[in-house]
Structure 1
Amino acid sequence: MARRLYRRIDRAIVPVLVLVGWELFSRSGILPPALLPAPSQVIVAWIDWIFAVDGNTQNYSGKWLSDVAASAGRVFAGFGIATALGVLLGMSIGWSRVVEKLIEPTLQVLRPVPPVSWIPLAIIWFGIADKPAIFLVFLGSFFPILLSTIHGVKTVDRNLLRAGAMAGGKPGMLLRHIVFPAALPSIFSGLRIAIGSAWMLTVTAEMVAVKSGVGYVLWDSYYFLRYDIVIASMATIGLLGFLSDFAIKAISARVLRWQRGSTLQAKES
């Protein structure tokens, strides 16, 4: 019973300790409460931001869902474009040496450029709207997906390819039925990295180039010295990133059931 109980609560131990320590420190008076709001104060502000309980968050009261929807729409738009293009281009580069020689040098030059540095150009090109945020999310998500896909394709077991070719498989069939499934574990790893970058960059873009979303609320509340709302915004971003990553993990576990079965067989043998 004790072991079962521990397994259920072990993941909550560290967060609870952090919150308790934070609450005690905030109430100790070492820092002014306005500079470091206690978790209880943040929760009160967060609840009003969500449900419009007493209006203590003023203009933000009751707008949490619309702010989250705005940010999520930008994240999944940029992330979806990056996934489609990153996987397609990664498969091409990993499979064809000609494509690799033509495209990879240019991509390797662009890859070290921080996506944030594109903000001025994004504003000039797209204006103050959703498009700059989607563009930055795309940039931040694209390269992790691309590189993971290339790695997955290049590390496919050559014996599988030889067996497929000997069975009469054409390059298109080999790509579809052997290379792509074998590269999926690496692709999903890239997707998990990319979704974290996507949330970080959409918040950054909303601070500068957009007038809605969780990032905009974070930056706007900073100007009004509402640090409880700032922290509630940060917690919202962390929660949304966690849920997005959890969703990708769940999809990965479902799609890659064959990998788990082969791993168990290898351990048993």
Structure 2
Amino acid sequence: MSMNWLVSIRDQRDRFIVPVVLILAWECLSRSGWLPASLLPAPSTVCVSWADWIFSTDQSTQANSGRWIFDALSSSLRVFAGYAIAAFSGIALGVAIGWWRWVERTIEPTLQMLRPVPPVSWIPLAIIWFGIANKPAIFLVFLGAFFPVLMNAIHGVKTVDRNLIRAASMMGASESQILRFVVLPAALPSIFAGLRIAIGSAWMLTVTAEMVAVKSGLGYVLWDSYYFMRFDLVIAAMTSIGLLGFLTDWAIKLVMSRVLHWQHGQTVQGRKH
């Protein structure tokens, strides 16, 4: 028990080695003048501006002072709304395409034609359709998150061990029972992989949408700060997006570890061997 605890501490420590070294090197290069402060502010400067953005400590960020929580919530709501729609529709449609041949023949060609179109190219149409508000951002997040979920759900269903399906059929299971109790559980690892990819795409697309179609959120602050040459706020916004993206991915990993506990056990046994 004590050895496992020590190993866990060591693993957690190792995760921070590279970020800490990079930040220290960045600070030293900025302080020495190798990196111009006008182009890349020192981490300490970014932290001061970030603190004012969050806590309104010295009003150095002016109109943004103390508004970080509102900007983060605005971006998060757009991400979660678009991501939820993409996850539900992507899983449902992906399972249908992977399981029923007639659905695959009917729908997949159209989806495969739309898939290579970059989500950002939909921005003009999204603004025309939905105006300057939350809806175009949610639409773009949906587009960015939908296809990773869809393709991984299709892959997960198509790669289910056919022996499991035959065994369930021989035991008298109906098609709906096979789909519910055999195919879906077997496809879950692939589906969760798609969900993790999709949450990263969702954050990228909401920031892109906020730069052009919305007047609030972390992406809007990032773009607005660029116009005013406030690169300390630009970096603070980038860090905020990365942190929130990391936390949402971590939350999905927690859900995945609980749902796929049987897979975790197999992985641990495989490592021991």
What range describes the TM-score normalised by the shorter chain of this pair?
over 0.9
Matches within 5 A, 1:175-194: 175-194=179-198
1:106 match? 110
Task: Supply the AA of the counterpart residue of 1:238.
Answer: G
Q: Tell me by how many angstroms 1:36 deviates.
A: 1.0
> Which residue of 1 is the match for residue 217 of structure 2?
213
> 1:263, CA displacement in angstroms?
4.3
Cα distance in 1 for residues equivalent to 2:222 and 2:199: 20
Matches within 5 A, 1:53-72: 53-72=57-76
Q: Give 1:10's aligned amino acid.
A: D
Alignment match, 1:85: 89
Residue of 140, 146, 153 corresponding to 2:150: 146
Q: Is it true that 1:50 corresponds to 2:66 in the alignment? A: no
Q: Output the CA distance in 1 between the equivalents of 2:51 and 2:270.
A: 49
Which structure 1 segments of 5+ residues have no match?
A: none
Instruction: Give me the whole-angstrom Cα distance separating, in 1, the residues matched to 2:271 and 2:19.
Output: 34
Aligned length: 269
Distance in 1 (CA, whole Å) between partners of 2:7 and 2:165 is 47
Q: Which residue of 1 aligns with 2:227?
A: 223
What amino acid maps onto 2:171 in structure 1?
A
Corresponding residue to 1:127 among 117, 128, 131 = 131
TM-aligned CA deviation for residue 261 of structure 1: 2.9
Are positions 1:10 and 2:14 aligned together?
Answer: yes
Provide closer, same or farther for how the CA distance between residues 171 and 2 of structure 1 changes in structure 2, counting only shifts above 3 A.
closer
Decide whether aligned partners of structure 1 residues 257 and 125 sit closer, same or farther in structure 2, where only a CA change above 3 A counts: same
Q: What are the Cα deviations for residues 22-54 of structure 1, in whole angstroms up to 9, with x where unaligned?
A: 111112223431221000000000000000011
Query: Per-residue deviation at 1:209?
Result: 0.2
TM-score by length of 1: 0.96
Q: Could you list the per-position Cα deviations for residues 156-176 of structure 1 after superposition, in whole angstroms to 9, with x for gaps in the alignment?
A: 011111111111111111111
Q: Percent identity?
A: 65
2:171 corresponds to 1:167:
yes
CA gap 1:212/1:268 in 2 versus in 1, 3 angstroms: closer
What letter matches 1:180 in structure 2? L
1:90-112 CA-partner distances (Å, limit 9, x unpaired): 00000011100001100000000
Instruction: Look up the match of 1:35.
Output: 39
Change (3 A) 1:181 1:3: closer
Q: CA deviation at 1:113?
A: 0.3
**2:238 matched to 1:234?**
yes
| Equivalent position SS for 2:127 | helix
Indicate the larger mover: 206-215 or 258-267.
Answer: 258-267
The verdict on how the C-alpha distance between 1:258 and 1:12 changes in structure 2, with shifts beyond 3 A counting, is: same
Which structure 2 segments of 5+ residues have no match? none
3-state SS, counterpart of residue 200 of structure 1: helix
- Matched residue of 2:16: which SS? helix
Deviation of 1:266 (Å): 6.5
Q: State the one-letter code of the partner of 2:157.
A: V
> What is the root-mean-square deviation of aligned Cα atoms in Å?
1.7
Q: CA deviation at 1:69?
A: 0.2
